[in-house]
Amino acid sequence: MTKHYTRTAKSLHWLMAILLIGLLALGFYMHDLPLSPEKLQLYSWHKWAGVSAFLLVLVRLAWRITHQPPALPASMPKLMQWVAHAGHLALYLLMLAIPLSGWLMSSAKGFQTVWFGLLPIPDLIGKDKELGQLLQTIHMSLNLLFVATLLGHIAAALKHHFIDKDDILRRMLPRHSKEH
């Protein structure tokens, strides 16, 4: 088994990282803006990027299912291996649940998503103001949980690199690799 992730896995990881951090920043920024044409445009961009992130996570999951990742170090305690796997599972579940909750919220609030202004995405549910507010709370809560999980993921990678001095972080860093 290889010690590094494939070039494709690394590319998907870092592309998703940039996209998701941008989505989080935009989402938190635009949330409290007063209603204006600029705010509506930011919401459109956020929804376009959210749909793109959702599709990209499906590609990433397909790649992950068909390409086994490198094994965790044998020296890593079994409990920590379980925590690492649980953390990755949580990240994937949140990367699926967050855009779905946003889509449901937009549908309930009566704002259809039109991907890049060209492709209308069908509403999943009918317009319902009360449900829209509940879904907004769920969407925000999932994002806060994602931020906490992401910070744990980053902290664990840095701990492995600087304290444990193993290759957990290095094997995901973008660098030349013969693997695809």
- Please answer whether residues 177 and 6 qualify as being in contact, where contact means their C-beta atoms are separated by less than 8 angstroms: yes
pLDDT of residue 92: 98
Domain ranges of the chain: 7-172
Count of CA atoms in the C-beta half-sphere (13 A) of 43: 18
Q: Looking at domain 7-172, which CATH architecture does it have?
A: Up-down Bundle (1.20)
pLDDT computed for residue 175 by the predictor = 77
| 23 CB burial (10 A radius; 0-12, 13-18, 19+) | buried
pLDDT at 90: 98
Per residue of the chain (180 residues), give pLDDT as tens.
Answer: 568 899 999 999 999 999 999 999 999 999 999 999 999 999 999 999 999 999 999 999 999 999 999 999 988 999 999 999 999 999 999 999 999 999 999 999 999 999 999 999 999 999 999 999 999 999 999 999 999 999 999 999 999 999 999 999 999 998 755 544
First to last CA, the chain: 14
